[in-house]
Every structure is written in C-alpha cells, then in structure tokens.
Structure 1
Amino acid sequence: MKEEHFKWYSPTLSKDIEMLVFGHSGYPVILFPTTMGKHNECKDMKLVESARWYLEEGLIQIYCPDGINELSWYNKHIHPSLRAKNHAIYDTFIMNEIVNKICDEKGLQKVAMAGPSFGGYQAANFAFRHPEKVSHMFSMSGSFDIKSFVDGHYDDNVFFNNPVDFMPDANHPDLWNMKIILGVGEEDICLDANRRMASILEKKNIPFWYDERKWAKHDWPLWREMFPHYLSKL
C-alpha cells in the first residue's frame, strides 16, 4: 500500500509538524495517535495495517498527523489555561492545515475522524465541535472529559474542548447526520466514560452505535479489531 511522509512548518502551531498518509485514493480518514503519540504511532502499532485491504482497494486514505499533547493537556509545567489554549490552537491547525486542505484537494465537504484512547477524545472533540466537516466519527476506547488535566481551572477553551460539557447544549443539525461509533471494551479503563457519552447522545436523540466488546481491555489488539470493522461502515 502507498505510504507518504510529509513534514512542514506549521504557521498555526509555530513549529515543525509531521504526517504519514496511507493509500492512493478513497475517502479521507484522519487517525489520531494516543496520549503522547506521534505521526508514526498508528503505523508502528499495526493499526494502519489492520486497514490494509481498504487502502489497497482504494476505498480510503488514512492521514496520521502528529499530536501535541506534550504541549497541551499533558504539560504540567505550564498553567492550565495555556494547556487549554494550546489545544485550541491544535484544533485550528487540524481544521486549517489538514481538513480544509484535504476537502479542497478532493472536492469534498467532510472527512472521517478516528482514534484510539486519547486519540478517541481528539476525534470526538473535533467532530462534535465541527460537525459540518465530519461525516463519520470512530472513537476506540476514548474518554471525553478533560477536566482532570486542568487542575480545577475552567475557561472557554476548557468548556469548548470538553465534549461532556458542550454536547448537552449542542444543536448543529449535522450532529444528527454524523455516523458515530463509540467503541470500548468490557474491561476497558474508559468504559464509564463511554457509557456517559452514550447517555448524552441518547438524551439528544443523536443516532450512534455503542459497541461494547466482551472481555476486551484498553489496548491495541482491541483497536486493531475495531478499526477495520468500523471502516466497513464507510
């Protein structure tokens, strides 16, 4: 399967950024890494390999950008307000330098978002914030409340990047058109987080598939099983 490596200076982030792109044609899927992962993590952990058939058939292309969690939520050396601000800047980067560019190149209005673990948060947060740009959202063992990362601090950047807070009042019509999957294992550390988000979506009558897998734990074997299954929904 085709693989390309891109590196450029991001004017949004004011730093170099890297991204791997897999596949030669097909529908775009933005795949986020886990907690401190970079652009190569999902390849190295064989998550991209699990989607090989879709890639070789030209059904999808997978875009794996760097994460910057070491500069945002996981940076304990800076004030929580700056952690949240840095993530808001990352959200702008994903929109302006990746999603909009892909949509322009392919003549599309929307892309798909996916990610395991903290990448599941990234996928859900972007999708729920910008439903006009996201057709499908596949969260694999994600969590959706980032208040534990801000040491009691709370501002607009925290609120608008915390799905459990902003989703109850969200009313963009494209939320009801998005294909949403919340995948989690029965023995997953994020089980309660997924049940909570499922409850929020249910109360709003937003369609979604809640996929709780028996005896499964929060780890790559589960996500390698989930990812190709979810891609079949494209």
Structure 2
Amino acid sequence: MHEEYRRFYSQHLGLDMEMLVLGDYGYPILVFPTSNGRYFEAKDFHLVDSVRWFIENKLIKLVCIDSGDKWSWYAKHLHPGTRLHNHNLYDRMISEELVPRLQQECQVDKIGVAGCSLGGYQALNFAFKHPEKVAHLFSMGAAFDIRMFMGGYYDEQVYFNNPPDFMPNAQNDNFYKMNIILGTAEHDFCKDSNYQMSGILAAKGIPHRLDVRPNGTHDWPVWREMFPEYVSSIF
C-alpha cells in the first residue's frame, strides 16, 4: 500500500500542516482525526487497514489530516470567540487550500469526508458548510452540538459551526445529492445526537442513512467495522 507523508504551509493558519496520504490513485476521502488527534491516528488505530482493499485496488486515496483542536475547541485558555476564529481559519485551510489541491490531483469536482468521534463532527460540519465540495459524508460515533465546548458563549459563529442550529434553515441543492451516512452504536453516548441529526435531515427531505450498530460502543472496533461498508457505498 502506497504511503506518503506530506507537509505544506497554510497561508490561512500561518503554519505547516501535516498529513498522511494512503494510496497513489483513487477517489479522495479526507479523514479528520478524533479530539486533538494527529494525522497518523487513522493508521495507528487501523482504520486505514479496514479499507486496505479499496486502497490497494486504486479505488480510493485516503488523506489523513492533522486536527486544529488544540488551538480551537480544546484551547480552554482562549476566549470562545478566539477559539471559533481559529476553527474558521482551519476550515478555510481545508476548503481553500487543501480541497482544491485534491480536486486537481484526483481530477474530481467533489471529495469524500469522514471522521470518528469529534472527527465525525468535523466531517459533517465541513460537508454541510461546503456542500458544493463534498459528495460523500461518513460520520462515525460523532456528536454534532458544539455548544458543549463554548461554556455558555453564543454568537453567530457558534450558530454557523453548529449543525443542529444552522441545518434546519440551510438551503442548498447539493444537500440532496450528497451520500450521507450517520454511524453510531446502541451503547454509544453520542447515539442521541445522531438520532437528532437524522431527524433534522428527514424533516428537510435530505436522503441519508442512520446506521445504529447493535451492542456497539464509542470505540475504534465499531468504527473499523463501519468504515469499509460506508466506503463501498461510493461504488
């Protein structure tokens, strides 16, 4: 399996971003790490191995990026407004710097996004903020209400980064063309959040799949079971 470490300077963040690319050809799937996770997390926890067949058969190319959590959601020493600003810079790095590179490199109009736990929030938030750039969305074990990090602070930037708030009012034809899978498990503490998001999408008539695994928990074995099945839905 082809593996490539990449490092690039982000104009928006003013620092180098690191990522791991698995596969030399195929449809690009951007993988966001869990809370404060690094670009090598998906490999270390064998999420990459779970879709090895798709990579080796040149069907997909996984792009595993570093998180920006340490200066946004988990930067408790910073004012909530500053944390939101930093997250928005991370979002712009993805949407305006990384995604255009992937679109050109892989010759696609839209990419896939995926993530587990907080990475699932990142994937869903990015997809719903930029639906013109995302064709496939796979969240696994995620919760989507980011107000839990804000300590009661609320402004329009919380609203526009909090899918349970902004999605009921959002309008975009691309929502209805996106392949959306919300994965959770019966004993996952994030299960209710997935039911809530599924209800929001259903009320808008947005096609999606809510996948609740029986007897599962909020952990990597469940996500490794989910991911290859979700990837197969691309084809």
Q: TM-score, normalised by structure 2?
A: 0.98
Structure 1: how far apart are the matches of 2:96 and 2:65? 13
Q: CA deviation at 1:31?
A: 0.5
Letter of the aligned partner of 2:96 in structure 1?
Answer: N
Structure 1: how far apart are the matches of 2:208 and 2:226? 15
Aligned twin of 2:116: 116
Aligned twin of 2:191: 191
- Deviation digits for residues 146-181 of structure 1 (CA, Å, limit 9, x no counterpart): 001111111222111110010001110000110000
SS of match in other structure, 2:97: helix
- Deviation digits for residues 181-231 of structure 1 (CA, Å, limit 9, x no counterpart): 000010001001101101100100100000000000000000000000100
Structure 2: how far apart are the matches of 1:93 and 1:116? 20
Aligned twin of 1:154: 154
Asked if 1:99 is matched to 2:110, the reply is no
Structure 2: how far apart are the matches of 1:148 and 1:106? 37
Q: CA RMSD in A?
A: 0.7
Structure 2: how far apart are the matches of 1:53 and 1:188? 28
Name structure 1 gaps, 5 residues minimum: none
Letter of the aligned partner of 2:101 in structure 1?
Answer: K
Structure 1: how far apart are the matches of 2:96 and 2:39? 18
Aligned 1:175-214 pairs, distance under 5 A: 175-214=175-214
Letter of the aligned partner of 1:16 in structure 2?
Answer: D
Letter of the aligned partner of 2:8 in structure 1?
Answer: W
Aligned twin of 1:88: 88
SS of match in other structure, 1:48: helix
Name structure 2 gaps, 5 residues minimum: none
Q: CA deviation at 1:79?
A: 0.2
SS of match in other structure, 1:84: helix
Q: CA deviation at 1:9?
A: 2.2
Letter of the aligned partner of 1:78 in structure 2?
Answer: L
Q: CA deviation at 1:35?
A: 0.5
- Deviation digits for residues 118-173 of structure 1 (CA, Å, limit 9, x no counterpart): 00000000001111000000000111100011111112221111100100011100
Letter of the aligned partner of 2:231 in structure 1?
Answer: L
| Percent pairwise identity | 50
Alignment length, in residue pairs? 234
- Deviation digits for residues 34-93 of structure 1 (CA, Å, limit 9, x no counterpart): 011010001100001111000000000000010010100111000001111111111100
Q: Is the 8 A contact 1:83 1:150 kept in 2?
A: no
Q: TM-score, normalised by structure 1?
A: 0.98
Asked if 1:63 is matched to 2:63, the reply is yes
Aligned twin of 1:26: 26
Structure 1: how far apart are the matches of 2:104 and 2:154? 36
Structure 1: how far apart are the matches of 2:109 and 2:169? 24
Q: CA deviation at 1:106?
A: 2.4
SS of match in other structure, 1:152: coil
Structure 1: how far apart are the matches of 2:87 and 2:126? 11
Aligned twin of 2:144: 144
4+ runs deviating over 4 angstroms: none
Q: Is the 8 A contact 2:26 2:106 kept in 1?
A: no
Aligned twin of 1:43: 43
